[in-house]
Amino acid sequence: MKVKLHDIGEGMTQADINHFFVEPGDVVKADDPLVEVQTDKMTAEIPAPTSGTIKEIKVERGSTVAVGTTVMILEPQGTFRTTRSIDKKVEKKVSNREAEGQFKPSHSPKRILAAPYTRKIARENDIKIEQVNGTGPANRITDEDVYSFINGSSQSATDVPMDAPVKTDDQASPKTIPYKGMRKQIGKKMVQSLFTIPHCTHFEEIDVTELISLRKQLKKQGKSVSATIFFMKALTICLKEFPLFNASLDEENETIFLYDECHIGLATDTSEGLIVPVMKNVEKKSFAKLQLEMKELIDKATNQSLTLQECKGSTFTISNVGPLGGSTGATPIINAPEVGLMAFHKTKKRPVVNEQDEIVVRSMMNISMSYDHRVVDGASAVAFTNRFTELIENPTLLVVELM
């Protein structure tokens, strides 16, 4: 039986082979993980379609293979006697042992519960995941379990001795890292988006003093709500009033799709690169529910444990780079096939002249709004950001609009 790389979602065409969980000769059960692959959005495991024995691995670890490629050969359970010649005496002994219930496969991989990112930590530190004791639910191995194992074995006999010779070169050579996997897929998507969509970026500054004050009041009452949640809620109002921004363009079929639901992509920086989990139906959810959902998605993105459904279907994307510090502006690349992307930058206290011509200190934040100039024009982008600014600068008005 050929085990092939199949399309695990959104019309993927290829994937990188990250890690094999089995070797030729291993006996597996149906749904046991066989190989870990990396697509442009997520890390996934390909399970065994049936119980049997691994006969041959057809591709190399680290290679990039196309959908439909045979990854390995699996001999279904109960067919091995017809496919190879066995000495009669040995066959008889094996049959007797099977009848007595004493026969056990020499290679039967243990089902290990661990997220792909947790496995990655173990591999990068030359740790066999099977050696780590899991403390999570159902003995699931967590990141902390792997780190604890590493710290506990740091003084093992396999460590390099202090007097080991150090190899030096007279001429320094540059270090290299592979440009593949998620980093490569992100690059491809950015290039495709930038060279397909005529980008235009509109900049605006917003007074968030009143929003900060409201969040402080809520925190005193034991209700902590991120500024990003307020931004998303304000955007749902803007996207309803300016539907061309909650859309996608099918240029080949000359069609613009307008969406009723607001599925907002949340650009998230991880150790593996930029990942965009999706907050579904933001317009229908409460502030508290969105806060919990956002934290859960960010945690999953950081741990490389997002599902395909959690990474697809966005209609508009945001990028909150303010917490990273130092950013006052940018020209974000649109998350194709969407029409717009808004980035929020660092909040700074600045002297501002108010309507009474008084100089006052206010908390100001810059935003960058990139949009597809094939679908919307500059005047629409200005109107969109003006409405967003109005709602954020007057959070009471935002709450009233949501009622």
From 6, 202, 345, 373, active-site residue: 373
- CB-neighbour burial class of residue 21 (10 A; exposed 0-12, middle 13-18, buried 19+): buried
User: What would the two tokens of residue 123 be?
Assistant: 């591999």
How far apart, in whole angstroms, are the C-alpha atoms of residue 316 and residue 233?
A: 13
How far apart, in whole angstroms, are the C-alpha atoms of residue 269 and residue 276?
A: 9
User: What would the two tokens of residue 67 be?
Assistant: 């959908």
How far apart, in whole angstroms, are the C-alpha atoms of residue 247 and residue 256?
A: 7
**Amino acid found at 37:** V
> 3-class DSSP state for residue 362?
strand
- Find the farthest-apart pair of alpha carbons in the chain and give their distance in angstroms, rounded: 102
Task: Give the per-residue pLDDT at 41.
Answer: 65
Task: Give the per-residue pLDDT at 110.
Answer: 54
Q: Distances in Å between the alpha carbon of 91 and those of 28, 55, 98, 355?
A: 21, 19, 10, 94
> 3-class DSSP state for residue 59?
coil
Consecutive 10-residue runs of the chain (403 residues): their mean pLDDT?
79 79 90 83 81 91 87 80 43 47 46 72 80 77 81 46 47 72 75 88 95 94 93 97 95 92 93 88 95 94 86 93 79 93 94 92 95 95 96 94 88
| N residues, the chain | 403
- Could you give the count of Cα atoms lying within 13 Å of 78 in the half-sphere of its Cβ? 3
Count the Cβ atoms, other than its own, within 10 Å of residue 181: 21
> 3-class DSSP state for residue 87?
coil
Task: Show Cβ contacts of residue 34 under 8 Å, excluding neighbours closer than 6 positions.
Answer: 3, 20, 21, 22, 28, 45, 46, 47, 48, 54, 71, 72
16 contacts 71 by C-beta, under 8 angstroms: no
User: What would the two tokens of residue 287 be?
Assistant: 């502030």
Task: Give the per-residue pLDDT at 260.
Answer: 95
Task: Give the per-residue pLDDT at 93.
Answer: 46
Task: Give the per-residue pLDDT at 377.
Answer: 94
CATH architecture of 181-402: 2-Layer Sandwich (3.30)
Q: ∠ CA(44), CA(49), CA(50), 5° rounding?
A: 140
Does the annotation count 6 as an active-site position? no
How far apart, in whole angstroms, are the C-alpha atoms of residue 19 and residue 263?
A: 33
Domain spanning 2-111 has what CATH number?
2.40.50.100
Domain segments of the chain: what residues?
Answer: 2-111, 181-402
Distance of CA 368 to the CA centre of its chain: 23
How far apart, in whole angstroms, are the C-alpha atoms of residue 266 and residue 314?
A: 9
Task: Give the per-residue pLDDT at 317.
Answer: 96
Q: Distances in Å between the alpha carbon of 59 and those of 4, 48, 53, 84?
A: 11, 16, 17, 23
- Could you give the count of Cα atoms lying within 13 Å of 51 in the half-sphere of its Cβ? 5
Task: Give the per-residue pLDDT at 160.
Answer: 39
27 contacts 105 by C-beta, under 8 angstroms: yes
23 contacts 9 by C-beta, under 8 angstroms: no
Count the Cβ atoms, other than its own, within 10 Å of residue 291: 17
114 contacts 140 by C-beta, under 8 angstroms: yes
Task: Give the per-residue pLDDT at 198.
Answer: 92
How far apart, in whole angstroms, are the C-alpha atoms of residue 220 and residue 212?
A: 13
